[in-house]
């Protein structure tokens, strides 16, 4: 029996490929006539009524907002794809405890690969002293211990990454 609504929680370093993968999964689900929404960390942060920085306290607030939004959409029957760095294991555990059918996807790319990709020039800005508290550089990223899916974006194409996720969903009767 197929599960109608579930959460795909994509976590990983900045520039690991979370947003690209999330958007590609969304397109694949929609091509299969599934009701799905994509929540992106930058968009949720920008839409927050409170200006959030990158302190631990602000990151906690941002993740709690993300979980609340994911819950809202899930209750409306959507498959929710959430692309958030969510650097702390406790953040992802909050999601697992608060949301139904939570599937953690580790968008796994080595720091050197993320630095080379760097579409927002974040790593460059850190090295130039323009910003601080970048996850994986001067702020911690706690890798998932037991993610349901581990996508090595430095080794797989985007299409292969989507196929890995869809295979998991099919094999586990989510779709």
CA angle, 129 then 134 then 139, to 5°: 110
Residue 55 CA: distances (Å) to CA of 3, 36, 63, 87, 137: 36, 31, 12, 12, 14
Task: Name the region of 33 (left: φ>0; alpha: ψ -120 to 50; beta: rest).
Answer: left
Is 9 in contact with 131 (CB distance < 8 Å)? no
In this structure, what token pair is assigned to residue 162?
Answer: 């989507």
Give the bridge partners for 10, in sequence order: 83, 105
What are the helix (H) ranges across the chain? 18-31, 41-47, 56-75, 89-98, 111-117, 122-127, 158-171
Active site residues: 86
In this structure, what token pair is assigned to residue 171?
Answer: 């094999």
């Amino acid at each position: 029996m197929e599960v109608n609504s579930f959460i795909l929680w994509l976590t990983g370093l900045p520039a690991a490929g979370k947003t690209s993968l999330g958007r590609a999964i969304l397109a694949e689900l929609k091509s299969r006539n599934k009701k799905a929404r994509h929540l992106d960390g930058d968009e949720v942060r920008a839409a927050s009524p409170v200006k959030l920085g990158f302190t631990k306290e602000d990151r906690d607030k941002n993740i709690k907002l993300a979980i609340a939004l994911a819950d809202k959409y899930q209750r409306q029957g959507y498959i929710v794809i959430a692309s958030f760095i969510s650097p702390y294991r406790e953040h992802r555990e909050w999601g697992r405890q608060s949301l139904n059918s939570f599937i953690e996807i580790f968008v796994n790319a080595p720091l050197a690969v993320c630095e080379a990709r760097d579409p927002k020039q974040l790593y460059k800005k850190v090295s130039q002293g323009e910003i601080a508290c970048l996850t994986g550089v001067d702020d911690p990223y706690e890798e998932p211990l037991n993610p349901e899916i581990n996508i090595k974006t430095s080794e797989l194409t985007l299409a292969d990454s989507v196929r890995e996720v869809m295979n998991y969903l099919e094999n586990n009767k989510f779709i």
